[in-house]
Structures are given as structure tokens and as C-alpha cells.
């Protein structure tokens, strides 16, 4: 099959080419998918997209008229897809439900440890010959309480890791997971989790219910000076409320791998540009805020698994008209 791959980076080519092994013709497009770039998929029978590609009604309408029958996400989350429009146009959707939950959970842990022990600041200090410890004081994870919001694949991996550190783990989920209960995680209402946790880490998907789940009112319920980690999706956190909370000291640390308006920033080199997003720029001024550019998934293991499942979705669609992991 001919497949148009949007938002292509060099690493996408490397892993997708290896997985496709010449069985499909992949047309790599650097542009992000928007209503203006959808036409670049002309000639393809399927389209492969990433997290900030805009799979909306207009794009899906164009795909239908181009004869495209399948959109595959090389991601787990599909909040960027208009599911009703895809159904109306008869376009099948595939995703990669579980490629490596450990990749994301381990990145969340990297943010926690870096913020706690000020690794990001120590790195810069030592390179400057500054060996003073003032300002680098951390806290033991052992014995602390970690609150996990969303205990699916990633949240459960996170629960296992934090239990290993000797943390007490609380969780909140609309569908509690027996695997978590088995390892000693206690399910509590969100307000209780927020009030009792030293670290709150978000692992639920972005849905209308979770949009700004953590806003000023939710932060007000958290322990004063607690740490908040978001490796899930940017809009789950009200960033302006988080900035105010960092300024007041209500939040003691903030670790983000995702950001509400990341679509205009992430995955590209903007180092020669003037970044006009004042909220984002304000985040970068705080010593107790650490931002990474949506890289939690980015391990050799996860990229290999994402590419393999993406090609398996395409193979299954070519064979029987349905991707292996259908979103419906
Ligand atoms: P999953 O579907 O296995 O688990 C999600 C869990 O969230 C489920 O248990 C679900 O019941 C729960 N949930 C849904 N709505 C909720 C709500 N309102 N309150 C509390 N819990 C709720 O998904 P996963 O594989 O663990 O991934 C979780 C999210 O992580 C994805 O949706 C995606 O947005 C994000 N993600 C980020 C990266 C990254 O690189 N930063 C990579 C992969 C996934």
C-alpha cells in the first residue's frame, strides 16, 4: 500500500522503514497534518499521523475524496482525531495501544528524581565550577506518598516503580485496575488523592472530562509545596493555574513532558526563533520547573514497538479492511 506519513522526523523513517521491510511504499512528509496540508496525501491509500496532527472533520473530508480509507496513529492517545467525522466518512482508524508503558513511566520518574534532587541545576553548576550545595536540598522518595491519576498501562507501570522506591501509592481512576490493587495501591477519590500526596502524577487520557482536570481549584486541594508531574497530555493541566501556583509556592515542583499549546513548539528546532508563547516562557524561568518536549515515549524499545504495530495495523487493513488495533 502507498502510505503518506505526516510529521516525519529522521527517527520515524529509521524505525518505520525497518518495520515495513519494503512491503509498503511510505511517502514521508515533514509537514504537520492540517486542513492546508491534507492534500499532500494525494495518491496514498492510508495516512500515518502523530500526536499533534490535526485529524479533524475538514481533513477527514479531504481524505475521503482522495480515496483514503485508513488513518493510523503512531501513538496511543487519539484526542487529536474527530472520531464521529471518521465514522461518518467511513475511514478506519488504527492506533498503537501499548508500545512501552515503561518508557513513559520511566520518564515520569526521571522528572521526579531530577526535580527532587535538582539534577538539572547541579549539572549546570558543576560545569561552571560551582560546587555549592545551597538550593539543591532534596527529599527522600522512600516513605513519601505518590498519587497516580489514571492507572491504565502507564499508571500501573508507574505504581510498580514507585512501590519499589518504598513510596505509599494512592490512585484515582474511573475504572480501578485489579493489578494495581494487587501491588498494594489504594484507590481513593481524586480530592483525597490530591490532599494526601507529596507527588501527583497524571496518566489519564485527554477527554472532555479530563480537560483542565488539574486547575486552580484542584491545585488548592493539594498539599502545600507538592510536586506535580504531567507526562500525559498538556490540556489536562491548566498551565496558567500551575504558573500562579509555582509563584505562590503552592506547587513546590512541576515536571512537564506535555504542554497545552505544544503543537506550535514541540518536535521542531526553534532555537533560532523568538518564542511568543509567554506562558511557556514563564514556565522556563522557574528553577523548580522542568519541561521536556514530549519525549517520554522516545526510547529505542518504544520506537521499535510503535513502528511494528503501525505496520501491523496497515497489514491487517490491507488484508481484511480493519486495522489490528481499531479505534471506534
Ligand atoms: P490506558 O488507556 O492504558 O490508561 C488510561 C487510564 O486512565 C485508564 O485506566 C482509564 O480508566 C483512566 N481514566 C480515564 N478517564 C479518567 C478520569 N477522568 N479520571 C481518572 N482516570 C481516568 O492509557 P496509557 O497507555 O496508560 O496512556 C495514558 C496516557 O498517556 C495516554 O492517553 C496519552 O495521553 C499519554 N501518553 C503520553 C506519552 C508521552 O510520550 N508523553 C506517550 C504515551 C501516552
Residues 227, 146 share a domain: yes
Ligand 1 atom nearest 151 alpha carbon: 9
pLDDT of residue 226: 98
The response to whether residue 255 sits with its C-beta less than 6 Å from ligand 1 reads no
Q: Note whether residue 325 is domain-resident.
A: no
Residues 146, 23 share a domain: no
pLDDT of residue 98: 87
Residues 135, 77 share a domain: no
The response to whether residue 149 sits with its C-beta less than 6 Å from ligand 1 reads yes
- Give 177's contacts (C-beta < 8 A, 6+ positions apart): 151, 152, 155, 156, 171
Three-class HEC string of 3-45:
EEECCCCHHHHHHHHHHHCCCCEEEECCCCCCCCCHHHHCCCC
The response to whether residue 153 sits with its C-beta less than 6 Å from ligand 1 reads yes
CB atoms within 10 A of CB 295: 15
Residues 248, 144 share a domain: yes
Residues 53, 181 share a domain: no
What distance in Å separates the CA atoms of residue 103 and residue 39, rounded to the nearest whole number? 34
pLDDT of residue 328: 84
pLDDT of residue 175: 97
pTM, two decimal places: 0.94
What distance in Å separates the CA atoms of residue 165 and residue 170, rounded to the nearest whole number? 14
- Ligand 1 centroid to residue 78 C-alpha, Å: 11
The CATH number of whichever domain residue 134 belongs to comes to 3.40.50.720
Ligand 1 atom nearest 172 alpha carbon: 20
Q: Note whether residue 327 is domain-resident.
A: no
Residues 156, 123 share a domain: yes
- What are the cell numbers at 265? 513548539
The response to whether residue 189 sits with its C-beta less than 6 Å from ligand 1 reads no
Structural domain boundaries, residue 54: 2-99+300-320
User: Is residue 33 within 8 Å of 51, Cβ to Cβ?
Assistant: no
Residues 75, 115 share a domain: no
> Can you give the length of the chain in residues?
328
User: Into how many domains does the chain fold?
Assistant: 2
What distance in Å separates the CA atoms of residue 60 and residue 124, rounded to the nearest whole number? 47
Residues 70, 205 share a domain: no
Q: Note whether residue 43 is domain-resident.
A: yes
- What are the cell numbers at 322? 480493519
Ligand 1 atom nearest 206 alpha carbon: 34
- Return the CA Rg of the chain: 21
Annotated active-site positions, please? Answer: 233, 262, 294
Tell the residue nearest (CA) to atom 25 of ligand 1: 153
pLDDT of residue 142: 98
**CA distances (Å), 122 to each of 136, 230, 280, 291, in order?**
7, 23, 23, 16
The response to whether residue 172 sits with its C-beta less than 6 Å from ligand 1 reads yes
Residue with cell 560546587: 131
Residues 134, 12 share a domain: no
| DSSP, res 108 | H
The response to whether residue 155 sits with its C-beta less than 6 Å from ligand 1 reads yes
- Ligand 1 centroid to residue 81 C-alpha, Å: 16
Averages of pLDDT over runs of 10 residues in the chain (328 residues) are 97 97 95 98 98 97 98 94 97 94 97 98 98 98 98 97 98 97 96 98 97 98 98 98 98 98 94 97 98 97 97 96 95
pLDDT of residue 26: 97
Residues 242, 118 share a domain: yes
Amino acid at each position: 500500500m502507498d502510505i503518506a506519513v505526516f510529521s516525519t522526523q529522521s527517527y520515524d523513517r529509521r524505525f518505520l522503514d525497518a518495520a515495513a521491510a519494503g512491503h509498503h511504499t511510505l511517502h514521508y512528509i515533514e509537514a504537520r497534518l492540517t486542513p492546508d496540508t491534507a492534500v499532500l496525501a494525494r495518491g496514498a491509500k492510508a495516512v500515518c499521523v502523530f500526536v499533534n496532527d490535526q485529524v479533524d472533520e475538514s481533513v477527514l473530508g479531504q481524505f475521503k475524496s482522495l480515496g483514503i480509507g485508513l488513518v493510523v496513529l503512531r501513538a496511543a492517545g487519539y484526542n487529536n482525531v474527530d472520531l464521529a467525522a471518521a465514522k461518518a466518512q467511513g475511514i478506519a482508524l488504527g492506533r498503537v495501544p501499548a508500545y512501552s508503558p515503561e518508557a513513559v513511566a520511566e520518564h515520569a520518574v526521571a522528572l521526579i528524581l531530577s526535580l527532587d534532587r535538582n539534577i538539572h541545576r547541579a549539572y549546570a553548576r558543576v560545569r561552571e565550577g560551582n560546587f555549592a550545595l545551597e538550593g539543591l536540598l532534596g527529599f527522600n522518595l522512600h516513605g513519601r506518598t505518590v498519587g497516580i491519576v489514571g492507572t491504565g498501562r502507564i499508571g500501573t507501570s508507574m505504581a510498580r516503580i514507585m512501590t519499589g522506591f518504598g513510596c505509599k501509592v494512592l490512585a484515582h481512576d474511573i475504572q480501578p485496575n485489579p493489578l494495581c490493587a494487587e501491588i498494594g495501591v489504594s484507590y481513593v477519590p481524586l480530592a483525597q488523592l490530591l490532599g494526601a500526596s507529596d507527588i501527583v502524577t497524571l496518566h489519564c487520557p485527554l477527554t472532555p472530562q479530563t480537560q483542565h482536570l488539574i486547575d486552580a481549584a484542584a491545585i488548592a486541594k493539594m498539599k502545600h509545596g507538592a510536586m506535580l508531574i504531567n507526562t500525559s497530555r498538556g490540556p489536562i493541566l491548566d498551565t496558567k493555574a500551575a504558573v500562579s501556583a509555582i509563584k505562590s509556592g503552592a506547587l513546590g515542583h512541576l515536571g512537564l513532558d506535555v504542554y497545552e499549546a505544544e503543537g506550535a513548539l514541540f518536535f521542531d528546532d526553534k532555537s533560532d526563533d523568538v518564542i511568543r508563547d509567554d506562558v511557556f516562557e514563564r514556565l522556563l524561568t522557574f528553577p523548580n520547573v522542568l519541561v521536556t518536549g514530549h519525549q517520554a515515549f522516545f526510547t529505542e524499545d518504544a520506537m521499535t514497538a510503535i513502528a511494528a504495530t503501525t505496520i501491523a495495523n496497515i497489514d491487517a487493513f490491507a488484508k481484511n479492511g480493519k486495522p489490528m488495533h481499531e479505534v471506534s
